[in-house]
Amino acid sequence: MGDRSGQQGRSQRGILHRLRRGLLALARSRAGRLFVEWIFGYMSFAIPVGRLRETETLIAFHHPRPSYPMHILLIPKKGLASPADLGPEDAEFLADLFVPWVVW
């Protein structure tokens, strides 16, 4: 019986591992990026986090599972694959990102 529960545990871990890999692949796909961009751009009010700051271009909140005592996520509402994709049209986002924050 102990052997069977060990097999069941390994099987569940395998399923969770494959699920995580699949979700990560989906998030990295074009469709996934569009979905995430839509969520952060138009549905950010529905994201269940305590916001530190939200502007037209970004949302900032404490990480739900922090690695450090002060672990804050700054998420652009526009989908960006890399900071290298930022252009002159993103000046408002950069200003929001680097403006001194007074809400801590």
92 versus 78: which is more confidently predicted?
A: 92
Reading the block at residue 87, the tokens are 């252009």
Q: Are 44 and 56 in contact (CB under 8 A)?
A: no
Asked if residue 104 belongs to a domain, the reply is no
pLDDT per residue over 1-24, tens digit each?
555 556 666 777 778 788 878 877
pLDDT per residue over 47-57, tens digit each?
777 788 888 88
User: Quick one: DSSP state of residue 73?
Assistant: E
Q: What are phi and psi of 17, to 5 degrees?
A: -60, -45
Asked if residue 65 belongs to a domain, the reply is yes
Looking at the 3D structure of the chain, how many domains does it have?
1
Asked if residue 103 belongs to a domain, the reply is no
Q: What is the pLDDT at residue 15? A: 83
Q: What is the pLDDT at residue 64? A: 82
| CATH number for 92 | 3.30.428
The one-letter code for the residue type at 91 is: A
Give me the domain span that covers residue 48.
Answer: 2-98
